[in-house]
Amino acid sequence: MWSHNQWQQSFYGGGTKPAERLEKYARVFHTVEGNTTFYATPTSNTVQNWKAATHDDFKFTFKLPKAITHDQMLRGVDEQLRDFMKIMEPLHERVGQWTIQLPAAFGPDHLDRLKTFCARFPPNFPLGVEVRNMAFFSKGDDERALNQWLLESGIDRIIMDSRPVFAAKPTSQAVIDAHQHKPRVPVHAIATATHPMIRFIGHPDMEENLRFFEPWLQKLPSWVEQGIQPYLMIHTPDNVQAPELAKKLYKQLQLKLSSPNLAVFPANYGNSQIQMF
């Protein structure tokens, strides 16, 4: 996300209009998880505005619509997919990954349907798949079949790391909601293509996140050394502190990687730019 009303003072600074948030966001971070497309297809005008607000080095990672992935479970969706991709066409060059998030009901019996669906896209199209069926985390034949196909197809497997938020006691409404709605699946840190995405769902205590992030301080630099460029998406239970947590974890990565400083926020939005690691 790039728009949260409670980021107005802490991240954007007073006086920033909602229509200006993406442009300011893109001066600090170089990628965003576009969750909005999961719930509704934007208008052509909105897509053009998103393009105008970002720069050529900025990458969106848009989710495919819920109507395609969850309601229809990838079946009989040719027209819906074609219409969606047509609307999004002005941003195709700025999409680092199209996310196919699948419900827990989508299991090994549906793997051939996923293969058929992904075959609709041109070769080398940047796709990422997030599965939630526990059979795909069993380290058995079902998971091996999925991973092998992803490797052969050059499709990234999206990694959910919800350990931090589930370690938090459900003493706030934000944590309770996260426990009810976020998937609790094992963390299988595998790169099946060149842009693995990690979705890190943080603990409400900012300092607690450091110990959960420690394994990633080893894995992420290792991937980078291999020429793999990961996407790291940082959440908190209600996402109010997500920018601050992203900054804190980025500083930890800087101790392992030669990465430029993030732009200062909420002030000094000048010409500061960073490169994704």
Report pLDDT for 9.
84
- Strand partners of residue 99: 63, 128
- Strand partners of residue 199: 160, 233
> Please, which pLDDT band fits residue 15 given cuts at 50, 70 and 90?
confident
pLDDT for 66-115, tens place per residue?
999 999 999 999 999 999 999 999 999 999 999 999 999 999 999 999 99
Domains identified in the chain and CATH numbers = 7-254 (3.20.20.410)
Report pLDDT for 266.
75
Report pLDDT for 112.
98
Tell me which of 212 and 8 has the higher pLDDT: 212
pLDDT for 187-206, tens place per residue?
999 999 999 999 999 999 99
Angle between the 44-53 and 21-28 helix axes, to the nearest 10 degrees? Answer: 40
Total-model pTM: 0.91
**What are the tokens at 100?**
């196919």
Total residues found in the chain within this entry: 277
pLDDT for 212-229, tens place per residue?
999 999 999 999 999 999
Beta strands in 227-274 (DSSP E): 231-235
CA-atom Rg of the chain in angstroms: 18
Beta strands in 162-225 (DSSP E): 197-201
For residue 55, give the amino acid letter.
H
- Strand partners of residue 261: none
Q: Give the separation between CA 73 and CA 146, rounded to whole angstroms.
A: 17
Alpha helices in 20-66 (DSSP H): 21-28, 36-39, 44-53, 66
Contacts of 79 (CB under 8 A, 6+ apart): none
Q: DSSP secondary-structure letter at 67?
A: I
* pLDDT exceeds cutoff 80 at 151: yes
pLDDT for 32-76, tens place per residue?
998 899 999 999 999 999 999 999 999 999 999 999 999 999 999
Q: Give the separation between CA 19 and CA 50, rounded to whole angstroms.
A: 10
> Please, which pLDDT band fits residue 272 given cuts at 50, 70 and 90?
very low
Q: Give the separation between CA 257 and CA 219, rounded to whole angstroms.
A: 12
Alpha helices in 226-272 (DSSP H): 242-254
pLDDT for 156-177, tens place per residue?
999 999 999 999 999 999 999 9
Q: Give the separation between CA 271 and CA 275, rounded to whole angstroms.
A: 13
